[in-house]
Structure 1
Amino acid sequence: MGTWDAGPFDNDTAADFCDALDDAPAGDREGLIRDTLIRALDVADDLDASISEEAIAAAALIAAQCPGGVPAGPPYGPKCTMPDLTSLRSLAVQVLDRVMSESSELLELWDGTHGSPWRANIHRLQNVLLPQPPGEQLRLI
C-alpha cells in the first residue's frame, strides 16, 4: 500500500517500525528509537525516504509523551507500552529539521504531491518537541 495518509504512522515503513517495537523486549525500545533517530542524523548525503519515515514515527512517539502531544497507538502506531522517551526530545527536533531540509528525499516526494498536510504534521511535531517559553509563538505552518 505504501503511504495512505500524511500522519507519522500512515505508511508501511512506519508501520513496520512500530511492529518491530511491539516485538522488541521492553528494555530495548528506547534504544531502538534512539538508534533510529541517530541513523537519520548520520546519513552523510541525501536522506532516504524510508529512513525519514522511521525517524518521523520515532519523533512522534517522543512527542506523544510531551505536553500537547497526540497519543501514538493503534491502529498504526505501536501497541506496546513505551518507556519515558522525553530525554530524546532534542535529538528528535534535530531529525525533523533534517527531514525538512533540501537533502531529504521524503520532503521532495511530498513537495511533488499534496504535501501541505504532511508538512503541517511535521511542524506540529516540532512545536510539541520544542519547549516553548511562556508567551513564545509556535512555528508557523
Structure 2
Amino acid sequence: MGTWDIGPFDNDSAADFSYQIDQAAGADDKAAVFLAAFRDVAETGEDAFLDSYYSVKAVASAALLAAQCPGGEPVTTSYAPKDAIPVLPATLRPLAVAALDRVLGPDSELLELWEESSESEEWKAGVLRLRAVLAGADA
C-alpha cells in the first residue's frame, strides 16, 4: 500500500476505494458499499488477522460518514469520492464504531504498519476522533 500522509484517503487503497463509491448508482447502493466496508472489518473475529486493505476502506468510509455527523469534519481531499455522498443511514454508525475499534485492536495489520511510523500517534488520534464523532452522534 502506497501511503503519502495520515489522512483517511492518503493511500492508494483508499483512493481506489473512492472510485468504488462513485460507481455505486444510487443512495441505497452507496450505503451498501459503506455497509460492506464496515462489516468486512467489524465482523472479523478478535483473534483473526485483519488485513490492512479492509481496514483502510473502513477508515475511509468512517471519515465520510463522520462528515455527516455533528462535529464531523468535511473530507476535502482530491482522493475522496468525486460525487456527493447522499445522507447515509444512521444505522451505519454503530457498525462504523465497531470497525474502528477493530482497526485499533489486536491483530490489525494497519495498526501494526502505523506503529512502525513516526506518525503513529497522530494517525491513531485521527481515527479516535472519527470514532468519537460517530459514537457521539448515536448518543
TM exceeds 0.5?
A: yes
Percent of residue pairs bearing the same amino acid type: 46
CA deviation map 1:5-51 (0-9, x unaligned)? 00111111111111111122123100011011101123331110111
Q: Where does residue 60 of structure 2 map in the other structure?
A: 57
Q: Matches of 1:71 and 1:13 in 2, distance apart?
A: 20
Q: Matches of 1:90 and 1:133 in 2, distance apart?
A: 8
CA shift at 1:87, angstroms? 2.6
Given that residues 66 and 133 in structure 2 are in contact (C-alpha distance below 8 angstroms), is that contact kept between their aligned partners in structure 1? yes
The one of 88, 98, 117 aligned to 1:113: 117
With normalisation by structure 2, the TM-score equals 0.89
Given that residues 69 and 137 in structure 2 are in contact (C-alpha distance below 8 angstroms), is that contact kept between their aligned partners in structure 1? no
Q: Where does residue 97 of structure 2 map in the other structure?
A: 93
SS at match of 2:73: coil
CA shift at 1:73, angstroms? 4.0
Q: How many residues align?
A: 134
CA deviation map 1:28-80 (0-9, x unaligned)? 10001101110112333111011100110011111010011111244011111
Q: Which contiguous aligned blocks of 4+ residues in structure 1 show a shift greater than 3 angstroms?
A: none
Equivalent runs, 1:64-83 vs 2, <5 Å: 64-83=67-86
Change (3 A) 1:133 1:105: closer
Change (3 A) 1:133 1:109: closer
**Structure 2 residue ranges without an equivalent (≥5):** none
Q: Where does residue 22 of structure 1 map in the other structure?
A: 22
Higher alpha-carbon deviation: 38-47 or 93-102: 38-47
SS at match of 2:91: helix
Change (3 A) 1:82 1:113: same
Q: Counterpart amino acid of 1:15? A: A
Q: Where does residue 102 of structure 1 map in the other structure?
A: 106
Q: Counterpart amino acid of 1:70? A: E
Q: Where does residue 32 of structure 2 map in the other structure?
A: 31
CA shift at 1:83, angstroms? 2.1
